[in-house]
Amino acid sequence: MQKIEKMESLREAYGNELAALGEKNRDIVVLDADLSSSTKTGVFGKKFPDRFYNMGISEQSMVSTAAGLSLSGKTVFASTFAVFLSNTYNVIRQSVCYNEAPVNFVVTHSGITVGEDGPTHQILEDVGIMSGLPNMKVIVPVDSVETTSVTDYLSVKKPSPYYVRLTREKFPVLNESNYEFHEGKSVTFRDGSDITIMAYGIMVSFALKAAEILRGKGIDTRVVNMSSIKPLDRTAIVKAARETGKIVTAEEHSIYNGLGSRVAEVTGEEYPVPILRIGMPDIFGKSGKGMELFDYFHIGVNDIVEKTDKFFKRDYI
């Protein structure tokens, strides 16, 4: 009998853990921009209305208020849809990052899994945008378990801001319940000696499925979860380059300024090897069912198999 994947919502895991942490830490305050039922911060808001601030459809006000609260000693979580937070780039740059205000931005509805909301809401550039900001850390959890662990990790106040990218869709649960997130460290879900696929978010589960198919083709594939985008696990990248010779990156994001770019930077500086970047090309998304859009844009499981197979067999001078 085929194993049935356990699917869980990352945003629900975030909301539930936030509410649980609120019981233990009275310094936690939560801000939202009129989307608390979707981002699931409303779970916290119902339990702790005196520490929950609905800023309305005013994301810039949310960001500046979050900066002030964090610099006043509060542990601040601020949430909205990923595309709406990116609209406040200059406020994040000036009020948060420049001042090293330790705000935890946890956004939902990122990437093409937003689905029917269409290209105006399917932000595909946010990892690059946020990674380019000085002092900003960027995390993209692979499943609900890692989301819970990341939320717990950020509940102990850190000296810098964070951007955590969540989604609308439910993802397969890949981690054991006792998993602990470690900033700047990757996790190897599957070892292999022929080629490495590095991914984050939903693309890790796609890469694992692709690796099983590739095994049938005689290609031993390593799969690495790179949920910590900034800081990046440079050691794991160089290790993969040395041991497997070729690296594929897979992401629900533009191939420009995303994981593929980061990995290429590291290998270019330390151990040059061929890199294949699988992700969205220089285009916007499209309205459609979230999970079906991966095949439409040729970044689904079968596409990863086909592209990796051709890449592995390609000779380089």
pLDDT (average), residues 124-152: 98
Instruction: Name the segment(s) of the chain with CATH classification 3.40.50.920.
Output: 187-313
pLDDT band at 37 (very low <50, low <70, confident <90, very high): very high
- pLDDT surpassing 80 at residue 304: yes
Is residue 65 within 8 A of residue 55, CB to CB? The reply is yes
- pLDDT surpassing 50 at residue 2: no
pLDDT digits (tens, 9 = 90+) for 155-197: 998 899 999 999 999 999 999 999 999 999 999 999 999 999 9
pTM tops 0.85, yes or no: yes
The residues that bridge with 52 in the sheet, in sequence order, are 30
CB-neighbour burial class of residue 204 (10 A; exposed 0-12, middle 13-18, buried 19+): buried
- pLDDT surpassing 80 at residue 1: no
- Distance (Å) of CA 209 to CA 18, 170, 189, 203, 299: 32, 17, 12, 10, 13
* CATH of the structural domain 187-313, one choice from 3.40.50.920, 3.40.50.1110, 3.40.50.10680, 3.30.750.24: 3.40.50.920
* Residues carrying an active site annotation: 59
The residues that bridge with 250 in the sheet, in sequence order, are 199, 278
Tokens of 45: 């808001």
Which residue matches tokens 């509805």? 109
- pLDDT surpassing 70 at residue 98: yes
Q: Which residues contact 36 (CB under 8 A, 6 or more apart)?
A: 42, 45, 52, 54, 79
- pLDDT surpassing 90 at residue 4: no
What share of the chain has pLDDT > 70, as a percent? 98
Q: Does domain 9-172 have CATH number 3.40.50.970?
A: yes
Instruction: Name the segment(s) of the chain with CATH classification 3.40.50.970.
Output: 9-172
pLDDT digits (tens, 9 = 90+) for 203-260: 999 999 999 999 999 999 999 999 999 999 999 999 999 999 999 999 999 999 999 9
User: What was the pLDDT predicted at 26?
Assistant: 95
State the Cα–Cα distance between residues 171 and 148, nearest whole angstrom.
Answer: 14
Q: Which residues contact 307 (CB under 8 A, 6 or more apart)?
A: 248, 276, 278
